[in-house]
Amino acid sequence: MLTGKSVAARLAPVLACMGLLALWQIAALALNSDSFPTALEAMRAIPSILGDKEALINILASLRRMAVGFLAAVAFSIPLGLLMGRSASVASFCNPLLMVIYPVPKAALMPIIMLWLGVGDLSKTLVIFLGVSLPVIYHSFEGAKAVEEKMLWSGAAMGLSSVERMIRIVLPASLPEILTGCRTGLVLALITMVTSEMIARQSGAGNILFNALDMGQYDTVFAMIIIIGAMGIALDVAFESMRQRLVSWSEPQFDVPLSFS
Amino acid sequence: MSARRFTIDGLIGAIPIALLIGLWQALVSFGYAPPTLLPPPGLVFERMVHQLTSGAFQQAIAATVFRLFAGFAIAVVLGVGLGLAAAASPAVNALMRPIVRVLAPLPKVALYPALLLLLGFGHESKVVLVAADALFPILLSTYYGASTVEQKLIWSAMAAGTPPRQILFKVVLPAAAPSILTGCRIGLVISCIVVFLAEMITSTDGLGHVLVTAARTFQAVDMFVPLITISLLGLILNGLLQAARSYLLRGFPEV
């Protein structure tokens, strides 16, 4: 049953969206500049982009690359991060290398990777993989490090092997932290997807966006921004609902504000 | 344990980096990769030292660092301020939560064309982009840290007669500091990434521009130099943040 409060909680992000679009509309009307179309004009351009078969295929190809890169990165990074968190020697082996790689913008590797692997799907997926894996490794590492020793000792006392302890104790205990990492990874996957396509101008959502910018089709530019933004929000909502189902046990009670005012 | 353990850890950590450089050298020496695609590491480091002493490259670094700092500083001030406000006031919280929910997962790079059209090709658009991208990790971790402060601490401060306004700065802010600094670390890495990308997209200066120019002329050596520079820059800034963290959190257990 939907109570009044949960309806309000569901409607609030929609209202926020409307509010931001209204703000945009007002700002565009106030500035009245050729290169800044109003929200309505931009939204009117969306159907023509989504109706265009080639553009649609491009956008779907982007999403596919993102999904493959993201899933591969998660499958690779969680075991590595957990292993680093539980073994000091693995951690000190991997940490410096990861610290060197972390601040390198992965999409900036695109020109070099393109020279080796071509402009196709492989190099873009690889770049997305690199972008996603680091935050996931980092958060899995932090999560696994913070697992209480006592739980592991009890597990060992009850006869769990080290692999079983990893899967049945460390993984669930660090899941909230891992999923935080995955969420950062998801945002980074989108950023990397857009920028890699912008650099390798061949296909994809980023390509449409920046081509439109170069050709001065400003309503297409802003329509693509809305589409990519909507993709980000939709993915985040989907991820969040999955996360809540998995780790609702660990949620702190956010809705109780600090009482001192 | 400290000093000796530290050197041993350092040595173990150096192995994969050494292996990577070794593999790189091997690929070139055994002819698996032509030097035009993968220049030997010696050449890259030589070029790097040469570039670091050249004025033009130093200016590129300066432009990047300025944008990075400006954007990151705005993000820290806004993120910590808004995060604390949301944790302290239910009204602010109710207003901000849906907006953050919508804006946080938005890939800000996609907004960059809009920023370009509105703010021009100079510093402003890049600084705003960096700030927008670094803001949300800092904001969310500040909020998380501030809303999980133990109520007992606040009650004790109130019992000791601290006025409500001061509780925010004397109790909540220090207690949330570890979480805030974790958010800052993520924000810093994102700033490094985003400033570089923004400069790659459109710029006339900065490290990203150096990379794009090199890529257009297929100068593989010059493509590696800015990448290594931004990595070093990230390491240095991360080290500074770590030092600030251990100074600020000196009273906390196990940091």
**Count of domains observed in chain A:** 1
Residue A189 maps to a domain: yes
- The three-state secondary structure class of B74 is helix
Predicted local confidence at residue B1, as pLDDT: 44
Q: For residue B236, which residues of chain A lie inside 8 Å, CB to CB?
A: none
Interface contact B105-A233, CB threshold 8 A? yes
Structure-token pair, residue B73? 């500083």
Domain CATH for A124: 1.10.3720.10
Residue A4 maps to a domain: no
Q: For residue B8, which residues of chain A lie inside 8 Å, CB to CB?
A: 92
Residue A29 maps to a domain: no
Q: For residue B88, which residues of chain A lie inside 8 Å, CB to CB?
A: 257-258, 260-261
From B91, B71, B75, B79, select the one nearest B143 (Cα to Cα): B79
CB A82 within 8 A of CB A171: yes
Structure-token pair, residue A142? 């932090």
| Partners of A203 in beta bridges | A201
Q: Is the model's pLDDT at B73 over the cut of 90? A: yes
In angstroms, the CA B255 to CA B246 distance is 7
Most confident of B61-75, B119-133, B146-160, B218-232: B61-75
Q: What's the angle, vertex CA A44, arms to CA A40 and CA A46, rounded to 5?
A: 120
Residue type, A75: A
Question: A51-59 — which CB contacts under 8 Å span 24+ positions?
Answer: A55/A208, A58/A203, A58/A204, A58/A205, A58/A207, A58/A208, A59/A204, A59/A205, A59/A208, A59/A227
Predicted local confidence at residue A56, as pLDDT: 86
Query: Considering only alpha carbons, which residue of chain B is nearest residue A42?
Result: B114
Residue A28 maps to a domain: no
pLDDT tens per residue, range B85-123? 888 888 888 888 888 888 887 888 888 888 888 888 888
pLDDT band at B76 (very low <50, low <70, confident <90, very high): very high
Helix H segments across chain A? 4-31, 39-51, 53-86, 88-101, 110-117, 121-145, 149-157, 162-165, 171-199, 205-214, 218-247
Predicted local confidence at residue A6, as pLDDT: 66
Helix H segments across A87-170? 88-101, 110-117, 121-145, 149-157, 162-165
Cβ within 8 Å of residue A196, ≥6 positions away: A107, A110, A123, A124, A127, A128, A206
- Considering only CA atoms, give the Rg of chain A: 22
Interface contact B113-A209, CB threshold 8 A? yes
Q: How much is the ipTM here?
A: 0.76
pLDDT band at B4 (very low <50, low <70, confident <90, very high): low
Residue A148 maps to a domain: yes
Interface contact B147-A252, CB threshold 8 A? yes
Interface contact A135-B186, CB threshold 8 A? yes
What does pTM read for this prediction?
Answer: 0.81
Q: For residue A90, which residues of chain B lie inside 8 Å, CB to CB?
A: none
Q: Is the model's pLDDT at A200 over the cut of 80? A: no
CATH top-level class of B57-201+229-248: mainly alpha
Residue A31 maps to a domain: no
Query: Considering only alpha carbons, which residue of chain B is nearest residue A252?
Result: B148
pLDDT tens per residue, range B160-198? 888 878 888 888 888 888 888 888 988 888 888 888 888
Residue type, A226: I
Residue A255 maps to a domain: no
The domain of A206 spans 36-248
Q: How many CB atoms lie within 10 A of CB A36?
A: 20
Q: For residue A100, which residues of chain B lie inside 8 Å, CB to CB?
A: 17, 231, 235
pLDDT tens per residue, range B12-40? 777 878 888 888 888 878 777 777 777 88
In angstroms, the CA B189 to CA A15 distance is 32
- In a mutational test of the B interface, the residue from A70, A197, A260 whose CB has the highest number of chain B CBs within 10 Å is A260
